[in-house]
Structure 1
């Protein structure tokens, strides 16, 4: 992931643009003349102090996403006397406080303290209190993450600060679990690496089976993550002697967990009833 770093100095603000963030003049230069900045956050940006006193910086991401603010190698809570992060660009936009953020029970406790907007725009206002050290603020595009997707489900920021994973504990066949995720603007999970899989499994366990998006329904023997339309490349976790290589076998969908496959991948009939994991990525 490419990071864009902008240094804001006492006498001037140097604005840098790249493929991940386009910096243009602030939309209303009459409000804070000489101390304004605007950036569109397409992925992630890091702004590095020291910062101008009484400055205002505006950030925006795509309309159906939100913004996540954290501190690199530090604690966001400790910045409260130096800056305020506002949920929106209106002059009366509320201040986002770490202690007021909703806590999702299964979220990864090792993630940095992060505050989230409820919309696609935000403003940072710096106070006139001087920083005792350089500060690096990280601003990321993120997806919304609810407490759950209804009865018998649970959600959390399990892997990182910007994605969302939800488990549904209702047994359904594979096609129905796929549609359940889609109906909630998510996709059936696909595992890109061992770390992602281990974090998801740690959140909800492996005592029962969970559907993923990996299938070979399009071509027998060619396994494809349906959610991302990619083939497993650098990482697989098949149970020994799986998947089934018999011609025209009906074990066309991958689930993990349960008494047979435990934390490994197993190919089973798509008509099998199982729980599922949905995911949403920014």
Structure 2
């Protein structure tokens, strides 16, 4: 799997133009979004996103939540399972969720499933979003392997060259 990921990264990264959204991405605001149909742990997914000059997606408001839902729903049936890592974690301090993209506490917008986060078995410290669960968030064991969504900031909010479209 590591060889497959490295091959994918080298090929894709070599085509990136700094500041532009690469082919296969979607744009919203100052970011490009790319979903990966590669099962990885939360840490592996974070490393892959960093290789793309990005991070696991942060969702700061209802509009960005809908963008992520739109990006993911365009590929329904292409992902199994339909669970995606996002950039939230409470690994540093239990119960204090932060976004890894800006290392700031989550703002007022949250889309937790009822009863979540619950830190089941005392080892759920990474945020995932479940398509089958109406796109609600859940805390999960960081060692589980899920698909993931990377967010890559652009230098210019008007840049979207190469991306599949502007959402929002």
Instruction: Return the TM-score normalized by structure 2.
Output: 0.72
**Which structure's residues are more often helix, by fraction?**
2
Q: Give the Cα separation in 2 of the matches to 1:195 and 1:156.
A: 14
- Provide the residue aligned with 2:14 in structure 1: none
Query: Matches of 1:195 and 1:266 in 2, distance apart?
Result: 19
Please give the TM-score of this superposition, normalised by the length of structure 1: 0.44
Q: Which residue of 1 aligns with 2:164?
A: none
Whether the 8 Å CA contact 2:87–2:100 is kept in 1: the answer is yes
Distance (Å, rounded) in 1 between the aligned partners of 2:66 and 2:44:
25
After superposing on structure 2, the runs of 4+ consecutive aligned residues of structure 1 that deviate more than 2 Å are none
Residue pair 2:85, 2:129 contacting (<8 A) in 1 also: yes
Write the distance in 2 (CA, Å) between the matches of 1:180 and 1:264.
24
Contact between 2:35 and 2:71, CA under 8 Å: does it hold in 1? no
For residues 130-164 of structure 1, the C-alpha deviation after alignment (integer angstroms, 9 at most, x for no partner) is xxxxxxxxxxxxx31111xxxxxx3121x23x421
Secondary structure, aligned partner of 2:25: strand
2:121 aligned with 1:253, yes or no?
Answer: no
Residue number in structure 1 paired with 2:162: none
Distance 1:234 1:182 in 2: 26
1:155 to 12, 17, 25: 25
1:245 deviates by 5.1
Aligned residues: 132
1:24 aligns with none
| Separation (CA, whole Å) in 2 of partners of 1:269 and 1:163 | 27
Q: CA RMSD in A?
A: 2.0
Give structure 1 stretches of 5+ with no counterpart. Answer: 1-117, 120-142, 148-153
Larger of the two Rg values belongs to structure: 1
User: C-alpha distance in 2, partners of 1:245/1:277?
Assistant: 22
Structure 2 spans left out of the alignment, 5+ residues: 1-16, 77-81, 156-168
